[in-house]
Structure 1
Amino acid sequence: MTRTGYHHGDLRAALIESGLQLTQVGGPEALTIREATRRAGVSPNAAYRHFADREALLRAVASAIQDRMAARMLEPATTRSSAQSRARSQLRTVGLGYIEFALDEPGWFAVAFFGGSDLSTLNGDGVAPPFRALVDALDAMVDTGALQPDQRIGAEWPCWAAVHGFAELALHGPLRGTPRHDLEALAQRTVDCIIAGLAQ
């Protein structure tokens, strides 16, 4: 087993790293205070200086996972010729990045939204990082004229439902076991349909 270790009082970060290791394969059920502290090389009681209980540690791990998910969703999109095309490409990258993260990291995906955390796992501006990526992409659509302001109202939710629903179908539903190449093609179609619908 990998030990994360810590030094100079960085136990909180070491416990989160232990939690990331445990949940990457095992999902939220794999995280226990005892195993996280064992990997960090400390006694279980040491964890309670930083986390009130397992749920608090799980929330911190979920927050770290959401940061990683948002980074995937914000990978640079292909440059396009017009501002509107760049905005559409940004939204497409956000949607596909969400699905790709779920497919690549199903254990972490389970923690990010079902392991004691949801959109209430907030960063400094009061919005979960993956949700912020979506909001910013939709706002860019409006700013460039690719989306009318009246169509922007509440647009987060059909977008989120589409990519989250697709991820669930791929991981736990009738698309489970579908070859990755086929899943990627279906994911692209799903995201493109949502963007086309918004732009009408």
Structure 2
Amino acid sequence: MNPSRTDRSGYHHGDLANALTKAATELARTGGPEAVVLREAARQVGVSATAAYRHFAGHSELIHAVKEYALSRLGAAMQVELAATDPLPDPAEDAYRRLAALGRGYLNFAVAEPGLFRTAFCHADKPTFDSLDKDPNATEPYRLLSAVLDDLVAVGSLDLDRREYAETMAWSTVHGLALLMLEGPLQNLPQEVYDAVVNRLTAFVRDGLTTR
């Protein structure tokens, strides 16, 4: 329900920006980045477009805020998977466990939140998949992946000369499967097939990183 006229006057500086971001996030959740429109977010909140433009100069600033949120939720989903399995006593096997968990969390988020997933990887100035419009090192998903790869090097499971660009190789493999599941021929897989494909992919990434 939109705020009443009385409610509108109660926004403090910053509250309206947060309300607009939340509204835009819901638009992205149901319709992807194409649905994130500043005027529509303002309408959802119950304020004028003029009021909205005091906090966001335009579409690119608003969608960037939603991207930040979507990436944080993706990172949180990966963390959930990390916490879902018990640590293993062998350091190398535990690093592999965490690598697999990150991949499962990534894919589970893509399937559960396709609108937010698509928005997380769109440009701020146009709703396309092309790439992140910021340094990927600053994002939680990248940081989690990088830390596990560093641990694989530390325990001797990943040679140092194979460490360079390892994030790109692992990320692109998992992201490619996510897109096939969202918009390609792997949509609506039965649960048992989905589980088998995810398990095989994580093993594939492991072997690709660590096998000469």
TM-score w.r.t. length of structure 2:
0.84
Residue in structure 2 matched with residue 79 of structure 1 by the alignment: 87
| Aligned-partner Cα distance in 2 for 1:121–1:74 | 22
Compare 135-144 and 154-163 and name the one that shifted more: 135-144
Q: Which amino acid aligns with 1:172?
A: E
Q: Which amino acid aligns with 1:166?
A: L
Give the one of 96, 100, 104 matched to 1:96. 104
Equivalent residue runs for 1:5-20 within 5 Å: 7-9=11-13, 10-20=15-25
Query: How far has the Cα of 1:168 moved from its partner?
Result: 0.9
CA RMSD of aligned residues (A): 2.1
Contact 1:142 1:152 in 2 (8 A): yes
1:3-60 Cα offsets, whole Å, 9 max, x none, are 6x88432111111111111111111111111111122221111122221101210011
Query: How far has the Cα of 1:2 moved from its partner?
Result: 6.6
Structure 1 stretches (4+) deviating beyond 4 angstroms? none
Give the one of 165, 180, 197 matched to 1:186. 197
Identity of aligned residues (%): 37
Q: Secondary structure at the match of 2:121?
A: helix
| Aligned-partner Cα distance in 2 for 1:58–1:180 | 32
Q: Which amino acid aligns with 2:117?
A: F
Residue in structure 2 matched with residue 54 of structure 1 by the alignment: 59
| Aligned-partner Cα distance in 1 for 2:111–2:123 | 17
Counting matched residue pairs gives 197
Contact 1:27 1:108 in 2 (8 A): yes
User: Which protein is bigger by CA-based radius of gyration?
Assistant: 2
Residue in structure 2 matched with residue 129 of structure 1 by the alignment: 140
Residue in structure 2 matched with residue 105 of structure 1 by the alignment: 113
| Aligned-partner Cα distance in 2 for 1:62–1:181 | 31
Q: Which amino acid aligns with 2:114?
A: P
Residue in structure 1 matched with residue 133 of structure 2 by the alignment: 120
1:144-168 Cα offsets, whole Å, 9 max, x none, are 2221211211111110111011011
Give the one of 177, 180, 184 matched to 1:173. 184
Residue in structure 1 matched with residue 46 of structure 2 by the alignment: 41
Tell me: CA distance 1:120–1:137, structure 2 relative to 1, closer, same or farther (3 Å): farther
Unpaired segments ≥5 residues, structure 1: none
Unpaired segments ≥5 residues, structure 2: none
Residue in structure 2 matched with residue 164 of structure 1 by the alignment: 175
Residue in structure 1 matched with residue 32 of structure 2 by the alignment: 27
Tell me: CA distance 1:50–1:31, structure 2 relative to 1, closer, same or farther (3 Å): same
